[in-house]
Amino acid sequence: MNLRSDKTKKGITRAPHRSLMKAMGLTDEEISQPFVGVVNSWNEYVPGHIHLDKLAQSVKAGIRYAKCTPFEFHTIAICDGIAMGHEGMRYSLPSRETIADSIELQVQAHQMDALLLVPSCDKIIPGHLMASARLNIPTIAVTGGPMCPGFVNDSKVDLISLFEGVGRYNVNEISEDELKILENFACPGAGSCAGLFTANTMGCLTEALGMSLPGCGTALAVEAKKHRIAKESGMKIFDLISSDIKSRDILTYDAFENAIMVDMAIGGSTNTSLHIPAIAKECGIKLDLEIFDEISRKIPHIVSIRPGGSHFMEDLERAGGIQAVMSKLRTKLNLDVLTVTGETLGKNLEKFKIINPEKNKEVIRDLSKPYHKEGGIFVLKGNLAPDGSVVKVGAVNEKMLKFSGKAKVFDCEEDTNDAIVKRKIKAGDVVVIRYEGPKGGPGMREMLQATSALAGQGLIDNVALITDGRFSGGTRGLAIGHVSPEATEKGTIAIVKDGDVIEIDLEKRLLNLKISDDEIKERTKNLKSKKKILSGVLKRYAASVTSANTGAIFE
């Protein structure tokens, strides 16, 4: 078997290299075996990652069982929840590219033969998959898995309960003691926050892409099942190496279509419209924002999980997880795509059996009885978003599908949050948050604090929010993000004034500012640019990043 790693270890001229390997305690037999990089995003600051050190041990046990040699190294990982609502959130999306670059550097410098990815959470999973696509070597991902929900007052709760709890406290709906109880019990331990927010959406879509073993995406972080999957993934990597099955053999256009179909069926985070195109780009595949809308019109929304519904990720796991979802979608999916099992998606689904049929019927509906007849994400266009915007329609109250109101305009998230806390936002308002796009933020911050505060005040079904930034996967309500072009690029959102009427029609996919074309041109002509003084990572990021409708990628 010809190995990439032979360049670093084979022949007389590589005696110095082997000596350095032996300095780490490697034997001749270990050196002769395929080298597998175990890319771990473990750290001590992110609950979604706090357990990944142990999960990586299971991965490495499986790799050694398969007569390969594991080498663990780490990537950074930012917790969006902890970064939320302040300057720190500007660094979250840029970390995706840094993660991908760091993996490429480590793997290419040492010419590893294959990868076992052990990521969790929002930007980290996409960064790992982008690197895998870029490197195009045999790869299996073992995503970290969902957190269990917390339990307060005989009800399940999660992180969003806390964010909305702050809003409830600010309007004297709950006491400080009640908020403290939520704080103590909402997040009970390791894993990605318990609803279908961005982290768990990306874990699910990794499985849907065929890049992780069946069952991985929803296997809970704290359960032994996750460790069994980790060991099996390590054991399977040799088969991919010997069969020369590389990442791009799996990450095909049809596989990306499958992932978007699953995304629409489960009502995942709008952030997938950034991450899926970014991963596809690394494969040389162009995915326009329009494909999300095209597929949304064809795939019904059949799973309703927090924040849009009452179920949690553990319910989806008990109902059969992503394999069960894909079984329901079987007639729609591209079944001939290859997966990391070495077999096609169709073959995998033939082996799948539902062990909790009643839970399955409750959590994953049949295509004939969906929650919504169309998918969970809509792409809106109009004169306010000529290049597109996105909304998680599965988390929008049906009475808000058509909405018209007067704009209240803010040039940053902090001013918005301050206005909400001071009760300056009223029912019927359209809150516009701009200069928070990929370039303008920079970093395209998520606005979970704003939406959660409005929910806590009882306004989430009476107010619309629009931004060129992003909304968290945990956001509910009429929250429209990724407005493109962004304000910094002189998009229409930059010329909206307080009191302007904004019209939203989700069914027709429209987002319009109700002023004339001539007025838009006149305001744009007189628009003064707003430039921020930047340094370091954010300065480089703002200079390189493209628009949200292209995935906020680097050209």
Counting residues of the chain whose pLDDT is more than 90, the rounded percentage is: 98
**How many whole angstroms separate alpha carbon 391 and alpha carbon 384?**
14
pLDDT band at residue 176 under the 50/70/90 scheme: very high
**How many whole angstroms separate alpha carbon 363 and alpha carbon 366?**
10
Say if strands 429-433 and 402-410 run parallel, antiparallel, or are unpaired.
parallel
Are the beta carbons of 549 and 289 closer than 8 angstroms? yes
At 229 the pLDDT is 98
Are the beta carbons of 303 and 265 closer than 8 angstroms? yes
Task: Please compute the mean of the pLDDT values over residues 174-193 and round it to a whole number.
Answer: 97
Q: pLDDT tens digits, residue range 319-378?
A: 999 999 999 999 999 999 999 999 999 999 999 999 999 999 999 999 999 999 999 999
| Whole-number average pLDDT of the chain | 97
**How many whole angstroms separate alpha carbon 508 and alpha carbon 182?**
39
At 9 the pLDDT is 98
Are the beta carbons of 50 and 190 closer than 8 angstroms? yes
Are the beta carbons of 538 and 443 closer than 8 angstroms? yes
Sign for the CA dihedral angle at 317, 258, 288, 92 comes to positive
What proportions of the chain, in percent to the nearest 5, are helix, strand and coil?
45, 15, 40
Q: How many CB atoms lie within 10 A of CB 349?
A: 17
Whether residue 231 is predicted with pLDDT greater than 90 in this model: the reply is: yes
At 530 the pLDDT is 85
Burial (CB < 10 A; 0-12, 13-18, 19+), residue 39, is buried
Q: pLDDT tens digits, residue range 477-516?
A: 999 999 999 999 999 999 999 999 999 999 999 999 999 9
This model's pTM is above 0.95: yes
At 529 the pLDDT is 81
Q: Choosing from 95, 102, 472, 484, which is the catalytic residue?
A: 472
Task: Please compute the mean of the pLDDT values over residues 287-309 and round it to a whole number.
Answer: 96
**How many whole angstroms separate alpha carbon 17 and alpha carbon 91?**
37
At 509 the pLDDT is 97
Say if strands 377-382 and 385-392 run parallel, antiparallel, or are unpaired.
antiparallel
Beta bridge partners of 118: 40
Whether residue 143 is predicted with pLDDT greater than 90 in this model: the reply is: yes
pLDDT band at residue 531 under the 50/70/90 scheme: confident
Q: pLDDT tens digits, residue range 1-41?
A: 899 999 999 999 999 999 999 999 999 999 999 999 999 99
Whether residue 317 is predicted with pLDDT greater than 90 in this model: the reply is: yes
Whether residue 437 is predicted with pLDDT greater than 90 in this model: the reply is: yes
Q: How many CB atoms lie within 10 A of CB 492?
A: 21
Task: Spell out the residues 6+ positions from residue 80 whose beta carbon is closer than 8 angstroms to its own.
Answer: 89, 92, 121, 122, 123, 198, 199, 446, 472
**How many whole angstroms separate alpha carbon 169 and alpha carbon 453?**
10
At 555 the pLDDT is 82
Task: Please compute the mean of the pLDDT values over residues 103-121 and round it to a whole number.
Answer: 98
At 205 the pLDDT is 98
With tokens 């927090």, the residue in question is 306
Task: Please compute the mean of the pLDDT values over residues 98-109 and round it to a whole number.
Answer: 98
* Residue 389 annotated as catalytic: no
Are the beta carbons of 240 and 138 closer than 8 angstroms? yes
Counting residues of the chain whose pLDDT is more than 70, the rounded percentage is: 100
Q: How many CB atoms lie within 10 A of CB 283?
A: 22
pLDDT band at residue 451 under the 50/70/90 scheme: very high
With tokens 């370091």, the residue in question is 536
DSSP 370-382: -SBSS-SEEEEEE
